[in-house]
Amino acid sequence: MTEISRYAAFTLDPSGGNPAGVVLDAAGLDDARMQAIAAEVGYSETAFVTSRDGGRFRVRYFSPLAEVPFCGHATVAAAVALGPGEHLFVTNAGEVPVTVDDSGVATLTSVDPHVSELPAADLAALLAALRWPADALDPELPPRVAFGGAYHPIVAVTSRERLADLDYDVPALTALMTEREWTTIQLVFRDGPETFDVRDPFPVGGVYEDPATGAAAAAFGGYLRELGLVPAEATLTLRQGDDQGRPSRITVRLDPAIKGVRVSGPAVPIS
């Protein structure tokens, strides 16, 4: 029988953070079975370790509706489930080193991030689906599409209340994200020089919203660095999940000597 573990990532409280399923021995599972398990678990993602060779692990991620190339919070959960040490996850997006310390905090280093323009027509369609006016946008954080293992448009607003009142058009946003192959939408409010509140709609995965999104955090870190919006060496705090009653705290570290973005947080079992 397949053993499925459940962890909450980016929190020390099992009732907070983003829950993830973890299957540490998925060698005998085909794609259809992994997809079915992810749907049964019902979390935004379940991580499946399909093979291992020493500290090298082949890992795949399934949402309730589809496979995704990379998932940060399920990476944190799976690494903590494996235990302290250095692990190398081989994902559909590339190789992701993950270190777990003795306190149960995992730090992943993303694949090399990159940022591209968000075309005006796509931005207009995105704002229409979010039901946000263009004048709500923060001119200091311009809209872009960022990649850190998966693609995430970055859209920032000047009002925390705007972020709190998220009420998007699910069919319209799902269709747009599917067409553009976006994984989540990183919605942002800047609360300080290195502190941000974020929310991440994920309708293409069958989930209204993620309470913590490590892949988007990596993409956002790459965006901030590439646009020069934070110092080249910085430690950032992302607050997510508060509006859903599942508070999450994600630490993002930028190091000019490293192309990838480091994303850190704990994970705890869900009983």
Instruction: Tell me if 199 sits within 8 A of 209, measured CB to CB.
Output: yes
Structure token pair of residue 170? 């699910």
Distance CA 142, CA 267 (A): 32
Local structure of residue 137 (DSSP, 8 states): B
Beta bridge partners of 157: 137, 189
Sign of CA dihedral 198, 204, 205, 208: positive
Give the other-Cβ count within 10 Å of 1's Cβ: 3
> What distance in Å separates the CA atoms of residue 244 and residue 9, rounded to the nearest whole number?
15
For tokens 């190398």, name the residue: 88
Is 45 noted as a catalytic residue in this protein? yes
CB 153 within 8 A of CB 126: yes
Q: Which of 3, 40, 45, 209 is labelled catalytic?
A: 45
Both tokens assigned to 269? 């079992």
List the catalytic residues: 45
